[in-house]
Amino acid sequence: MTVLEQRGAYRPSPPPAWQPRMDPAPLLPDAEPYRVLGTEAAGKADPDLLRRLYTQLVRGRRYNAQATALTKQGRLAVYPSTTGQEACEIAAALALEERDWLFPSYRDTLAVVARGVDPVEVLSLLRGDWHNGYDPHAHRVAPLSTPLATQLPHAVGLAHAARLKGDDVVALAMVGDGGTSEGDFHEAMNFAAVWQAPVVFLVQNNGFAISVPLAKQTAAPSLAHKAVGYGMPGRLVDGNDAAAVHEVLSDAVRHARAGGGPTLVEAVTYRIDAHTNADDATRYRGDAEVEAWRAHDPVQLLERELTTRGLLDGSGIETARQDAETMAADLRERMNRDPELQPMDLFDHVYAESTAQLREQRALLRAELEAEQEQHGGHGEHGAREGGAR
C-alpha cells in the first residue's frame, strides 16, 4: 500500500473495462502487395478499362520524357519525374468520379493531367510563371502541394464538409513515402478516422525521399500498417500493376462513398529517374537495383497482359504511341512559347480587397513598367499588361 493510500487521500475507482473499438485484424494489410496482371484475377478485369489504362500509361510515360526534356531546354525550372510510377498516378485518378476531389503532391502531375487539367496549366508551378496554373474548381483538383503532407488535412476537411452538406463526394489525397514521416500525415489520418471522413490516402512508396531509402524512413513493417493505429483499413498493392491499383483504389473510394470512412493504400513502386533534374541518383543507389525495377515496368506489364489475351495488337500499340506523340508535340509546341507574364497579378490576389499599402506598391510597379516600356519602344515580355485590375 502506498503512503497516499494509507492516508486515505488516494482512492482510485476501478477503471472501466477497456474495449478496443474494433478488431484490428481486418484493418491490417496483407503481407504481399495485391496483384492482378499475370494472375487469374486479370481475367475478370474489364477489357475496356485495361485498354483505357494502357493508352493513358503510354501517354504518361511520354509526358514524363517530354517534361524532362523541357528542363534541359531551360523551359522548366525543375521536373520531378514519375517514370516508373505511371500506373499509380493514372489508375488512381481514374478511380474517381467527376464530382470527387484530388489533392496531389508536387510529383503528381500525371494524376492531375488524367483528371482532365490542361498539361500546360499543370506545369505552371514548375515553369515559374505562376504558383498554380489551373482553376481548382474546374476539375476538382487542389493545387500541387510542395510542402510534404500538408495537403492531406485539406483533403480530410473537404471530404468532411461535403459529407456535412449531404454530398457523396470522396477526396483522394496523394503522398510519397517520405511524406508519411511528417506530422501532418499523422494528423490527417487521425482526423479522417475520428470523423469517418470519405477520404482515400494513397502513399506512392517509390523507395526514396530524395536520397533517403525507406529503411531509414520508417521501422513499420509496411506503410500500409500505419493505418491500423488510426482505426482504418490499410491496403498494400503493387503500384506498377495498373489494374490492381485501379481495383484497390476503386474499392476504397466505394467504401468511403458508402460511409465506411477512410482507407490508407500503399502502392509499392519505384522512381526510375532521379528525384528531379537537380538530383544525382547514382550517389545513393546502384544500377542493378534500377534494372531490376525496369523489368517490372508498369507500361510493359499492362502491354504484355493485353497482347497475351489478344486485347491489343501491333496497330493498337502504334495508335497509343501516336496519341502520346500528338500530346507531346502539342505540349512541346506550347511550352516553347514564352509565357504571358502579368506583373500586376503580384498585387491583385493577395486580399479580396487590396490594402492602402498594396495600392501604393502597385502604383510604383506600374510606373516602373511604363518607364520600361517607353525605354524599349513600347513592347516586350515584361510590358505593363493589366491583369484583373481593380
Partner 1 sequence: MTTVAVKPATMAQALTRAMRDAMAADPAVHVMGEDVGTLGGVFRVTDGLAKEFGEDRCTDTPLAEAGILGTAVGMAMYGLRPVVEMQFDAFAYPAFEQLISHVSRMRNRTRGRLPLPITVRVPYGGGIGGVEHHSDSSEAYYMATPGLHVVTPATVADAYGLLRRAIASDDPVVFLEPKRLYWSKDAWNPEHPMDVEPIGRAVVRRAGRTATLITYGPSLPVCLEAAEAARAEGWELEVVDLRSLVPFDDETVCAAVRRTGRAVVVHEATGFGGPGGEIAARITERCFHHLEAPVLRVAGFDIPYPPPMLERHHLPGVDRILDAVARLQWEAEG
Active site (catalytic) residues: 271, 275, 284
Nearest CA among 237, 181, 205 for reference residue 107: 205
Residues 295 to 314 in contact with partner 1, rule: CB under 8 A: none
The amino acid at residue 183 is: G
Nearest CA among 328, 339, 299 for reference residue 66: 328
**Distance from first CA to last CA of the chain, Å, rounded?**
76
The residue (of 350 and 364) whose beta carbon lies closer to partner 1 is 350
Q: What is the C-alpha separation between 266 and 223, in angstroms, rounded?
A: 6
**Is residue 188 close enough to count as binding partner 1 by CB under 8 A?**
yes
* E strand intervals along the chain: 101-103, 171-176, 199-205, 208-209, 212-213, 234-238, 263-268
User: At its nearest, how many Å lie between partner 1 and the CB of residue 146?
Assistant: 8
User: At its nearest, how many Å lie between partner 1 and the CB of residue 182?
Assistant: 9
User: At its nearest, how many Å lie between partner 1 and the CB of residue 136?
Assistant: 5
Binding mask 125-144 for partner 1 (x = CB under 8 A): -----xxx--xxx----xx-
Residues 325 to 384 in contact with partner 1, rule: CB under 8 A: 345, 348-352, 355-357
Q: What are residue 75's DSSP bridge partners?
A: none
Task: Count other C-beta atoms under 10 Å from residue 71's C-beta.
Answer: 18
**Is residue 183 close enough to count as binding partner 1 by CB under 8 A?**
yes
**Is residue 245 close enough to count as binding partner 1 by CB under 8 A?**
no
The amino acid at residue 50 is: L
Q: Under rule CB under 8 A, how many of the chain's residues touch partner 1? A: 43
Instruction: Spell out the residues 6+ positions from residue 102 whose beta carbon is closer than 8 angstroms to its own.
Output: 93, 96, 108, 111, 112, 115, 140, 141, 142, 171, 172, 174
The residue (of 164 and 219) whose beta carbon lies closer to partner 1 is 164
The residue (of 187 and 372) whose beta carbon lies closer to partner 1 is 187
Q: What are residue 34's DSSP bridge partners?
A: 237
In sign, the C-alpha dihedral spanning 97, 239, 114, 39 is negative
The residue (of 188 and 299) whose beta carbon lies closer to partner 1 is 188
Among 100, 184, 238, 305, binds partner 1 (CB under 8 A): 184
Q: Parallel, antiparallel, or unpaired: how do β-strands 208-209 and 199-205 relate?
A: unpaired
User: At its nearest, how many Å lie between partner 1 and the CB of residue 13?
Assistant: 21
User: At its nearest, how many Å lie between partner 1 and the CB of residue 135?
Assistant: 5
**Is residue 174 close enough to count as binding partner 1 by CB under 8 A?**
no
The amino acid at residue 75 is: R
Stretch that binds partner 1, among 11-19, 26-34, 89-97, 182-190 (CB under 8 A): 182-190
> Residue holding cell 487590396?
354
Nearest CA among 36, 8, 2 for reference residue 302: 36
**Is residue 102 close enough to count as binding partner 1 by CB under 8 A?**
no
Binding mask 141-170 for partner 1 (x = CB under 8 A): -xx-x-x--xxxxxxxxxxxxx-xx-----
User: At its nearest, how many Å lie between partner 1 and the CB of residue 75?
Assistant: 21
The residue ranges that bind partner 1 (CB under 8 A) are 130-132, 135-137, 142-143, 145, 147, 150-162, 164-165, 171, 183-184, 187-188, 190-191, 194, 345, 348-352, 355-357, 388
